Chains A and B, each alone.
Chain A
Amino acid sequence: MSTSDALIGGRSAGPDAPAVRRHGLDLRLFRSELRLVLRRRRNLALIAVLCCFPVLIGVAVRASAPANGDGPPFLSQVTSNGLFLVFTALTVLLPFFLPLAVSVASGEAVAGEANIGTLRSLLVVPVSRTRLLGVKYAGSVVFSFVCAASVAVVGLVVGLLLFPHGDVTLLSGTTISYADALWRALLVLGYVTAMLAGLCAIGLFVSTLTEVPIGAMAATAVLAIVSEIADSIPQINAVHPYLFSHPWMSFGELLRSPIGWHGLQTGLLTQLVYVAIFLPAAWARLQSKDITS
């Protein structure tokens, strides 16, 4: 330990000089959070696994073309236009693998920091609990977007390589240019991210309940699956519209002409309600929590 510079450790500006806090957007901590989430090997592995699916589907369809109506939605369209590989991959991944990845990131958010003790270090920096929660939520949503976007990009590239890429015939039968269809794909990506934002809020709330990140991840994933199972039981269709997973698959509305905005709005509203319930719940929980880890 050198005794070099007397700048640190000693007194700051002057006795009782109050520290001046910057206001406005807090990009430093947010960037740090993104680096943390997006450089983490486990998260990168999750993204890599997700990216295998469009490749797998693309190669399989190329090897043996499916009959019309076979397999998951959009699968038979892939042979006529590679862009549909993006939608097929998202359809395949949205029920399980995407929510799983999102559960891992959002469940980890607070519980992970509590588990290794870095939560207390951040709070005494000081990072206010509200700010921490905001940054954690934003980090989870960005991770959801990165997951979905990675699948979409890989699907796009594989589609371009293996299949034709001319004008796109939409589900409603209308034909639009490839460029216009790319815009639709971007909207699909935005919608899918928004659909996962509700789950992020649930995961973040669960994450404030425990100091065991794996527990928070598992609980969040289980909640997603429970919601989907409930959504598949017709006898309780009265509750279906209230399930957060119910509108996940509605992104097909974006592939019609005209776009089925009504279904999309309902989907976005559902997620908004879940976020509006679970983010404040997470805030209340973290605010009153004794940090003893």
Chain B
Amino acid sequence: MTAEVRVTDRAEPQAGARPATAAITTTGLTKRFPGGQVAVDAVDLDVPRGSVYGFLGPNGSGKTTTIRMLLGLVGATAGTHELLGVQMPRGGLDVLPRVGALVEGPAFHPYLGGRDNLLRLDSGDRTAPGRESRQRVDLALERVGLSAAARKRYRKYSLGMRQRLGLAAALLRPRDLLVLDEPTNGLDPQGTREVRNLLREASTEGATVFVSSHLLSEIEQVCTHVGVMSHGRLVFQGSLPELRAAAGLRVRIETTRPEAASEVLRRLGTGKPELRPNGVVAELGTVPSDQVTAELVAHGVDVRQLVVERPDLEELFVGLTGEGFDVDE
């Protein structure tokens, strides 16, 4: 009897019937390519409505394959997923008009202009009134600052312009969800900032933004949540404060005698001290910081400065995903 109740509880609500709190959910999402390579391994994403979700991971960690599965381009080997509460890939035709997407960089017809390329994509949308297609396209072009280059052939576009056109395609209509794969790829710092502003705007207007990047620093300022991929697995998921909390406090000491200071720290039982040019850094662990100060002074180590800090997210990110140039098969 209990089991039956549980089954009913878990039964999938009909598409769109439930005021879903999650914009994207995946359960055990897995992709094994014919060669046997597991690109995505049992990923459970939970992207809250209204969040700006940074989907992070080094190149080749499975981000793009995950995004392709989310959008129904690639079939999952195992697992299920929903977009805006709608089962995918079955409900794709119903839900995708509400999803703006940029997958693995912009892709357009090289010999068509920016506007013609957008008109081409717009013509495929059966949920959009055809009469207003020019308006939609011009508005989207204006939004990404491409109005002046609307007639220019795509092949003459710079990388930055191409990326913007890709964003314009995602912004052709009001969206409830934006799925953007590396939208800042190839952009200069100015362009990167503009993309961040666009993401902020879309978020302010109520859209959930799911944005992937291999550079945490590029999207850190706009994200409310992050998921970190490594080797096809989701190794961290949570809000930005949660990510920060996942990193322990550490102490940074500036001194003329780093060796002596590091000896003191070792005896106190902190994490392994790392020597720096004019001082030493160590994870605090459970050691109170005032005890560190007292011990250093007691051992006659001059302390020019002592700072208790959290490592920045970039370091944490590298810690989660590993460092180096190895390509993971």
Q: State yes or no: do A and B come from one complex.
A: yes
Decide: B74 and A291 in contact? CB cutoff 8 A: yes
- For A2, the chain B residues whose CB sits under 8 A away are 142-143, 145
Interface status of B28 (Cβ within 8 A of chain A): no
Decide: B75 and A11 in contact? CB cutoff 8 A: no
Interface status of B188 (Cβ within 8 A of chain A): no
Distance in Å from the Cβ of A49 to the closest Cβ of chain B? Answer: 19
Residue-wise interface mask of B (142-172) relative to A, using a CB-CB cutoff of 8 A (1 in contact, 0 not): 1111000000000000000000100001011
Decide: A16 and B143 in contact? CB cutoff 8 A: no
Interface status of A277 (Cβ within 8 A of chain B): no
Interface status of A233 (Cβ within 8 A of chain B): no
- For A292, the chain B residues whose CB sits under 8 A away are 68, 73-74
> How many interface contacts (CB-CB < 8 Å) are there between A and B?
159
- Return the chain B residue nearest A290 by Cβ: B74
Decide: B68 and A22 in contact? CB cutoff 8 A: no
Supply 17 further A-B pairs (C-beta < 8 A) apart from A1-B197, A13-B174, A118-B109: A2-B143, A9-B201, A10-B205, A11-B176, A11-B206, A16-B84, A21-B93, A21-B94, A26-B126, A28-B133, A32-B119, A120-B107, A126-B72, A126-B92, A127-B124, A291-B68, A291-B73
Interface status of A29 (Cβ within 8 A of chain B): yes
Decide: B142 and A4 in contact? CB cutoff 8 A: yes
Decide: B173 and A8 in contact? CB cutoff 8 A: yes
Distance in Å from the Cβ of A285 to the closest Cβ of chain B? Answer: 14
- Measured in the bound complex, the distance between the Cα atoms of B207 and A8 in whole Å is 10
Interface status of A123 (Cβ within 8 A of chain B): yes
Decide: A8 and B94 in contact? CB cutoff 8 A: no
- For A12, the chain B residues whose CB sits under 8 A away are 98, 173-176
Distance in Å from the Cβ of B280 to the closest Cβ of chain A? Answer: 45
- For A3, the chain B residues whose CB sits under 8 A away are 197, 201
| Contact A122:B73 (CB < 8 A) given known A9-B175, A21-B127 | no
- For A32, the chain B residues whose CB sits under 8 A away are 119-120, 123-124
- For B171, the chain A residues whose CB sits under 8 A away are 8-9
- Measured in the bound complex, the distance between the Cα atoms of B145 and A123 in whole Å is 25
- Measured in the bound complex, the distance between the Cα atoms of B143 and A19 in whole Å is 23
- For B19, the chain A residues whose CB sits under 8 A away are 15-16
- Measured in the bound complex, the distance between the Cα atoms of B106 and A121 in whole Å is 9
- For A123, the chain B residues whose CB sits under 8 A away are 71-73
Closest 10 CB pairs of A and B: A10-B205, A117-B107, A11-B206, A126-B96, A19-B97, A32-B123, A19-B127, A127-B124, A9-B202, A291-B73
Distance in Å from the Cβ of A192 to the closest Cβ of chain B? Answer: 29
- Measured in the bound complex, the distance between the Cα atoms of B201 and A2 in whole Å is 11
Distance in Å from the Cβ of B216 to the closest Cβ of chain A? Answer: 23
Distance in Å from the Cβ of B197 to the closest Cβ of chain A? Answer: 7
Interface status of B269 (Cβ within 8 A of chain A): no
Which listed residue, A7, A28, A124, A128, touches B101 by the CB 8 Å rule?
A: A124
Interface residue ranges of A148-187 to B (CB < 8 Å): none
Distance in Å from the Cβ of A17 to the closest Cβ of chain B? Answer: 8
Interface status of B251 (Cβ within 8 A of chain A): no
Decide: B124 and A10 in contact? CB cutoff 8 A: no
Interface status of A262 (Cβ within 8 A of chain B): no
Residue-wise interface mask of B (99-139) relative to A, using a CB-CB cutoff of 8 A (1 in contact, 0 not): 11101110111111000000111011111001001001001
- Measured in the bound complex, the distance between the Cα atoms of B109 and A41 in whole Å is 13
Can you show 27 pairs from A to B with CB atoms below 8 A apart?
A: A1-B194, A4-B142, A6-B201, A6-B205, A9-B143, A9-B175, A9-B178, A9-B202, A10-B174, A11-B206, A12-B176, A18-B94, A21-B93, A21-B94, A32-B120, A36-B109, A41-B111, A120-B107, A123-B72, A124-B71, A124-B72, A124-B96, A125-B96, A126-B93, A291-B73, A292-B68, A292-B74
Decide: A1 and B103 in contact? CB cutoff 8 A: no
| Contact A28:B130 (CB < 8 A) given known A9-B202, A118-B109 | yes
- Measured in the bound complex, the distance between the Cα atoms of B71 and A128 in whole Å is 12
- Measured in the bound complex, the distance between the Cα atoms of B95 and A21 in whole Å is 11
- Measured in the bound complex, the distance between the Cα atoms of B309 and A261 in whole Å is 90
Distance in Å from the Cβ of B245 to the closest Cβ of chain A? Answer: 31
Interface status of B85 (Cβ within 8 A of chain A): yes
Distance in Å from the Cβ of A48 to the closest Cβ of chain B? Answer: 17
| Contact A125:B125 (CB < 8 A) given known A118-B107, A120-B107 | yes
Interface residue ranges of A29-59 to B (CB < 8 Å): 29, 31-32, 36, 40-41
- For B93, the chain A residues whose CB sits under 8 A away are 21, 126, 128
- Measured in the bound complex, the distance between the Cα atoms of B142 and A98 in whole Å is 43
Interface status of A20 (Cβ within 8 A of chain B): yes
Interface status of B198 (Cβ within 8 A of chain A): yes
